[in-house]
Amino acid sequence: MSYIVFIICGIVSVFLQIFLIREFVPLFHGSEFVLGIVLGHWLLSAAVANFLFQYFKKVRDFFGKSVNLFIVLIIFIILSFLFVRNINAVSSTDLAVGISLKSLFFYSLFVTFSVSFTLNLILNFLKQSFSTILYQKKVKRYVCEAVGFVIGGTVFSLFMSSVTTTVLLLIIIMLIFCNLIYLSESTIVKIFYFVLLCFSFFLIKYYAFDIEKNVTFDNNSRVNIINFSFYENIQNILMEKNGEYFFYKNGNCEFALPSPEIFDEEDFAHLPILHHTNPKNLLLIGGIKYLPSIVKYDLKKIDFIEQDLNMIQILSKNINKLNSIFEDKRIKVYPEDARLFLQTNDEKYDVILIGLDIPLNTTINKFYTYEFFKLVKEKINEDGFLALNLPGSMVYSPTLMFELNASVYGCLKETFSNVQVIPGKTNIFVASKSKMPFRLHIKKRLKRVEDETVVLSKYYVDERMDTQKTKWINFQIKKYSDRKILNKDSNQKTMLFSIMYWQSKFSPFLMNFLNLIIEYSYLIVLVAIIPFFLIKIKYSVTAFVSGASAMWLQFVCFWGFQIYVGQVYRWFGMLTALFMLGLVFGSLYSKYYQKNTALNKTFFSSEILYLLWILTFIVVIECNLLNSYYLCFLSLGVGAITGLEFAQLIKIFGIIKEGKNNVRLFFADALGGAFACYIGGAFVIPVWGITKALIFILFLKFLIFTWWQYDKKHGL
């Protein structure tokens, strides 16, 4: 039964990681940077807890202390939930604006550390309490915990991705109560915890939505939250105040009525369509807010791609204007990934509109890459047009804005014969295989719908497409596009520039400093070499690189999954489960099937296998073979090789150090994982691109291999 305690702790651990990620992601507008930062905090907290535990070993009654810490953990979980939901009150920021990178880092550290440190301290206390039982049956705490990760991650991804956070946290608390019932010695106390468990279930069944709604802070307390839900682990909120409606998806405002951006919305919905002589069919990718303008045209077919069916259902149900639009028989909704739709659909379009917001995350950015534009080129007719929009300004135009625009402009120029930029508060990019129409033709076509528009007129078009403005914006963008800043699937420059442009509104100094770090980021290679000259801590450095390599490759899987498949927040649990499953297989294989094999052979063979596995990553990415199956297999393989390698390192350390405490190795391993999350997942992978990031970790692993290969001390 003691196994179950650790398995439940593993389930609680992965659920808490998912909770932290899903709550901080909307505050940073869906950016995958949150994955690196939150998981980095989690592993750093685990490293500190494991290291400090050696100073608690003289404590008596580990059993009682672990029970008390479980109560503390429940308190921290509840306080964390309340704190995150009210974080905009603490930071005085608007829900729609989000928080700064600095605030994200420190707030998430504060919340994550309290939860992760407590849970990992509990695991150490429980290990000490059950050590006799566990070692007699030859089962380690880490194996049981990993099994919990596998169960929790799989169950969440398959069955729980749309539950609210309130339900998720109440399930976590119920699991903790299960452990408390088992650990408590008094029958009365067991009954008390069982009653609390039943009460938690009662809250899930009858009051979960009310709790979810009431703990959501809004800047103006009179806002009415009509719907608060999660769909595929993405947060959806529909708010209403004084007859105004706002729909937020992972922190981004997807729809507002009446819209504060109505002029920009009409510009983008009308001007690209007016480029075509007589459009018959149109494809809109995202951007539900553009449909009211698009339906005014005499189009025979309007295909609308929106993967989040939950959003369409919520808006159609609560906003009559949209409900009537979706009754239009010309509109057909496709709830699937746009890239997959274009790859499998033979339809060709007169106009394709990318109605998505500024690409602050990979989910959006993959529709602004060179590879995507090549795909779109095949799906438009010879006289067809592609259009998208990016931030612009005719008054103050910072360098970051031009770099952002240039990264997309360069990709369009590499793909299409003609690219036109319509300058304004938002720059509209129109690309085509054929020639662009003159402004005179656009004004003539405008007469068909002019009476139904809010602002468009021939005079407005003259002002919007003024020749001098157009020449100026083209000159500025081309100046930066000459630097060949291309946005590609594996090197997402536009997303990086978008985040920096957005964050520059919070702290221009911080963004200038970050820009400087990015420019000299390759110095990380020199810094990484320094530990290899510290021979005295050879085993710790090896463990550090082992943990760093494992998490680095796992983050390549996370980023790759989001780029090539999407929905990483839903499948995060499954990818983590596969990694932990591989870890269990690798460590058990080393324990039970390599007893009679020389350690020098097994350790070096695992190092060679690791190097080959990293090379496999590089080959698969460079050959554009990544899909969900390859990524799952790669994640499983990373876990297996890491488990095999680390188990052998512990054996070697135990022999050479004659049974000396191996806490240092676990500390270094967790610290290496935190390093990979912070430096790799939240910096190097998005800044350098996936391939260069893999070459960096290949370099570190090669140094480890050569270090051990030529060191023959102690008979190894």
Which pLDDT value is given to residue 714?
47
Which pLDDT value is given to residue 137?
46
Helix%, strand%, coil% for the chain, nearest 5: 65, 10, 25
| Cis geometry, peptide bond prior to residue 279 (ω within 30 degrees of 0) | no
Say whether pLDDT at 439 is over 50: yes
Which pLDDT value is given to residue 404?
92
- Per-residue pLDDT of 373-426, as tens digits, reads 999 999 999 999 999 999 987 666 678 888 899 999 999 999 999 999 999 889
Q: Which of 443, 457, 276, 267 is nearest to 350 (CA)?
A: 276
C-alpha 560/C-alpha 607 separation (Å) is 24
Q: What is the mean pLDDT of residues 207-219?
A: 76
* Sheet architecture: strand order including 234-241: 224-231, 234-241, 244-249, 252-257
**Exposure of 683 by Cβ count < 10 A (0-12 exposed, 13-18 middle, 19+ buried)?**
buried
Which pLDDT value is given to residue 136?
45
Residue labelled with tokens 């990264």: 407
The first and second tokens of residue 179, run together, are 């452990």
C-alpha 314/C-alpha 320 separation (Å) is 11
Say whether pLDDT at 134 is over 50: no
- Per-residue pLDDT of 447-487, as tens digits, reads 888 888 888 888 888 888 988 888 888 888 888 776 667 89
Which pLDDT value is given to residue 658?
44
For residue 38, what pLDDT band results from cuts at 50, 70 and 90?
Answer: very high
The CATH code that applies to domain 262-491 is 3.40.50.150
3-state secondary structure of 420: strand
- Per-residue pLDDT of 153-172, as tens digits, reads 999 999 999 999 999 999 99
Return the number of other C-beta atoms located less than 10 Å from residue 298's C-beta: 10
C-alpha 275/C-alpha 269 separation (Å) is 11
**Contact yes or no for 286/365 (Cβ under 8 A):** no
Q: Is the pTM of this model over 0.85?
A: yes
Residue 192 or residue 184, greater confidence: 192
Which pLDDT value is given to residue 509?
79
Which pLDDT value is given to residue 135?
46
C-alpha 261/C-alpha 350 separation (Å) is 26
Which pLDDT value is given to residue 19?
96
- Kindly report the backbone phi and psi dihedral angles of residue 237, in degrees, each rounded to the nearest multiple of 5, phi listed first: -130, 130
The first and second tokens of residue 149, run together, are 């990760």
**Which whole-number Å values give the CA distances from 549 to 555, 558, 561, 650, 679, in the listed order?**
10, 14, 18, 17, 12
- Per-residue pLDDT of 510-521, as tens digits, reads 888 888 888 888
The 3-state secondary structure of 555-609 reads HHHHHHHHHHCCCHHHHHHHHHHHHHHHHHHHHHHHHHCCCCCCHHHHHHHHHHH
**Exposure of 530 by Cβ count < 10 A (0-12 exposed, 13-18 middle, 19+ buried)?**
exposed
Which pLDDT value is given to residue 140?
67
Which pLDDT value is given to residue 138?
45
Which pLDDT value is given to residue 221?
53
For residue 654, what pLDDT band results from cuts at 50, 70 and 90?
Answer: low
The CATH code that applies to domain 520-716 is 1.20.1250
Residues for the chain: how many in total? 716
- Per-residue pLDDT of 592-624, as tens digits, reads 776 555 566 677 788 889 999 999 999 999 888
Q: Which of 411, 376, 614 is nearest to 495 (CA)?
A: 411
Q: What is the mean pLDDT of residues 50-66?
A: 77
For residue 188, what pLDDT band results from cuts at 50, 70 and 90?
Answer: very high
Which pLDDT value is given to residue 321?
83
Which pLDDT value is given to residue 35?
95
Which pLDDT value is given to residue 535?
56
